[in-house]
Chain A
Amino acid sequence: MTKQQANWSPYDNNGGTCVAIAGADYCVIAADTRMSSGYNILTRDYSKIIQLADKSVMASSGFQADVRALQKVLASRHLVITWDLISYYYNKQMSCPAMAQLLSNTLYYKRFFPYYAFNVLGGLDNEGKGCVFTYDAVGSYERVGYSSQGSGSTLITPFLDNQLKSPSPLLLPAKDAVTPLSEAEAIDLVKTCFASATERDIYTGDKLEIVVLNASGIRQEYMELRKD
């Protein structure tokens, strides 16, 4: 009697790639807008990026239904915490490092039926410096200078390693992970990454959505990608 296998999976992978790069006083978060299932394209115009708070932006690839559910849960939990803890003592919004911990806890909460979401969280820390946090599906996270998640990450990460040469987080004394690149250079780098990933990864393409967070606020940019 061979072991029974499930003939139905609660998960699906909608593909797509996310990237985030932290700078001295900015953070760039980018993701493509293609949503697919198997060899089919479901839509060419779906945003994987959401602003969670004043200075925190999250991009998630994976199973978009879980991503959407995660976004909603985070939005609610963020509000509850802001009301109960923050508004009584301070007059400000949740910081990015705090949001990073919240995201980790929210993911681990479903350790035994995970959100099939591969996240990068980008934003500005309490000192105004760019920060990027990268996650696995169950909430393990780390602050880094740059990160890539999703179907194109295997193509993009080695390229970013080559260009940004981020020091290892294990180094002592701790070295600054943020890139010395300017904001414009970082955006250009991101566009290059996606243009290349689109060439070889079938799940990445259509359009690139770029979100830039800096001291003057938040802005959005788009770039066309190959549609094949």
Chain B
Amino acid sequence: MFRNQYDTDVTTWSPAGRLFQVEYAMEAVKQGSAAIGLRSKSHVVLACVNKSNSELSSHQKKIFKVDDHIGVAISGLTADGRVLSRYMRNECINYFYSYESQLPVGRLVVQLADKAQVCTQRSWKRPYGVGLLVGGLDESGAHLYYNCPSGNYFEYQAFAIGSRSQAAKTYLERKFETFMESSRENLIKDALFALRETLQGEKLTSSTCTIAVVGVGEAFHMLDQETVQALINEFEIAGEEAPADEAAAPDQADDSESSATAADKVTPSDPDVAPMDM
């Protein structure tokens, strides 16, 4: 993507029918550190890489509890994510006040998407620079959605966003068919494996990642460090039973391993097709 005369504000179309400001916002999502979501019939697991600015600072919060039955993992501008989490929490509270029942996940993501769309059609606003993986439970089962800055949203069996997420997506694409019937423990393990893919050699420990779970009879909560470390040890000691070809990272063209700001070069996209249409 390159600078051109149609990208100054979000209310300007390009001759090819694209809104560059929105596409640039989606780029911001790709720059954030990885976040992964998977779901089975009864559980949703959200996992993310802990990124901190320096060794001296604490890591940014990327997973937010929205209600007992909904949680969200974000990638991109964390501040935008925090603000949207507050909006989601408020919506859940108000819905419960009016209807004495939990806000269905599907409705929440539509409201979120509509809110994002507004920012793509006002000259005095800018799109939110954050992608959200919304995981939640409602009467119709466990759901995982991805909301992008464009105002689009999609439901997924499993998905990964942020930098080096392609490696995780490759792993997930291989295994996703087993997720629906997966047990809670295996789902978490798969999340950890997928997360490890994005670390590209860096050690996976409970301090470099955060895992959160929501499921039938289990309110949304983040797993504590000991539990996560125990799970990591379990499969690492068991001799890395991760699928054999974990080294395979197809269209990956990574600049530098340790830089958390390395752009995730996705499969070479057709320059004429707007990314949000994929």
Cα distance, A73 to B98, chains bound together (Å): 11
Look across to chain B and name the residue whose beta carbon is closest to the beta carbon of A87.
B65
Q: Closest approach, in angstroms, between the C-beta of A84 and any C-beta of chain B?
A: 7
Residues B86 and A84 in contact, CB atoms below 8 Å apart:
yes
Q: Are B86 and A76 in contact (CB under 8 A)?
A: no
Within 8 A of A (CB), among B64-121: 65, 86, 89-90, 93-94, 96-97
- Give the shortest distance, in Å, between A162 (CB) and chain B (any CB): 42
Distance A75 CA – B86 CA, assembled complex (angstroms): 17
Closest-CB distance, B59 to chain A (whole angstroms) = 15
Q: Is A79 an interface residue (CB 8 A)?
A: yes
CA distance A75 to B65 in the complex (A): 18
CB of B94 within 8 A of CB of A76, answer yes
By a CB distance below 8 angstroms, the chain B residues around A72 are 97
Per DSSP, chain A at the interface is helix
Min CB–CB distance A75 → chain B (angstroms): 8
A80: CB under 8 A from chain B?
yes
Name A72's closest neighbour in chain B (CB-CB). B97
Task: Tell me whether B97 and A80 are in contact (CB under 8 A).
Answer: no
Known: A73-B97, A79-B93. 15 other contacts (CB 8 A): A72-B97, A75-B96, A75-B97, A76-B93, A76-B94, A76-B96, A76-B97, A79-B89, A80-B89, A80-B90, A80-B93, A83-B86, A83-B89, A84-B86, A87-B65
Tell me which residues across on chain A come within 8 A of B94, comparing CB atoms: 76
Residues of B within 8 A of A (CB): 65, 86, 89-90, 93-94, 96-97
Q: How far is the CA of A75 from the CA of B93 in the complex (A)?
A: 9
**4 shortest A-B CB distances, which residue pairs?**
A76-B97, A83-B89, A79-B93, A76-B93
CB distance from A94 to the nearest CB of B (A): 14
> Closest Cβ of chain B: how far from A46's Cβ, in Å?
17
Query: How many residues of chain A have a CB within 8 Å of chain B?
Result: 9
Residue of B nearest to A73 (CB): B97
For B98, give the chain A residue with the smallest CB separation: A72
A84–B97 Cα gap in the complex (Å)?
18
Kindly list chain A residues whose C-beta atoms are within 8 Å of the C-beta of B97: 72-73, 75-76
A92 to B26 alpha-carbon distance, docked (Å): 35
Which residues does chain B contribute within 8 Å of A83, judged by CB atoms?
86, 89
Cα–Cα distance between A75 and B94 once the two chains are bound (Å):
11
Rounded to whole angstroms, the CA-CA distance of A84 and B82 in the bound complex is: 11
User: Which chain A residue shows the least CB distance to B96?
Assistant: A76
Q: Digit string of A42-73 for contact with B (CB within 8 Å is 1, else 0)? A: 00000000000000000000000000000011
Q: Which residues of A contact B90 (CB under 8 A)?
A: 80
In the bound assembly, the distance between CA atoms of A118 and B182 in angstroms comes to: 52
Instruction: Tell me, in angstroms, the Cα distance from A155 to B86 when the chains sit together.
Output: 48
A71-104 interface with B by 8 A CB criterion: 72-73, 75-76, 79-80, 83-84, 87
B65: min CB distance to chain A, Å: 8
Q: Give the docked Cα–Cα distance between A138 and B103 (Å).
A: 32
- Interface bits A163-187 vs B (CB < 8 Å: 1, else 0): 0000000000000000000000000
A72 to B94, CA, bound (A): 10
Residues of A within 8 A of B89 (CB): 79-80, 83
17 CB contacts below 8 A, A to B, read A72-B97, A73-B97, A75-B96, A75-B97, A76-B93, A76-B94, A76-B96, A76-B97, A79-B89, A79-B93, A80-B89, A80-B90, A80-B93, A83-B86, A83-B89, A84-B86, A87-B65
Please name the residue on chain B nearest to A83 by beta carbon.
B89
Closest Cβ of chain B to A71, distance in Å, is 11
Residues in B neighbouring A80, C-beta threshold 8 A: 89-90, 93
| Residue on A nearest B67 in the bound complex, by CB | A79
User: Which residues of A204-222 have CB atoms within 8 Å of chain B's CB atoms?
Assistant: none
Q: Measured between C-beta atoms, what is the minimum distance from B75 to chain A in Å?
A: 20
In whole angstroms, how far apart are the Cα atoms of A84 and B89 in the complex? 10
Residues of B within 8 A of A84 (CB): 86
User: A73, A79, A83 — which one has the most chain B CB atoms within 10 A of its CB?
Assistant: A83
A87 vs B221: C-alpha distance when bound (angstroms): 12
| A77 CB to nearest chain B CB (Å) | 9
CB distance from B212 to the nearest CB of A (A): 14
Closest to A84 in B: B86
Cα(A87)–Cα(B94), bound, Å: 19
Once bound together, how far apart are the Cα atoms of A38 and B68, in whole Å? 41
B157 to chain A, nearest CB (A): 30
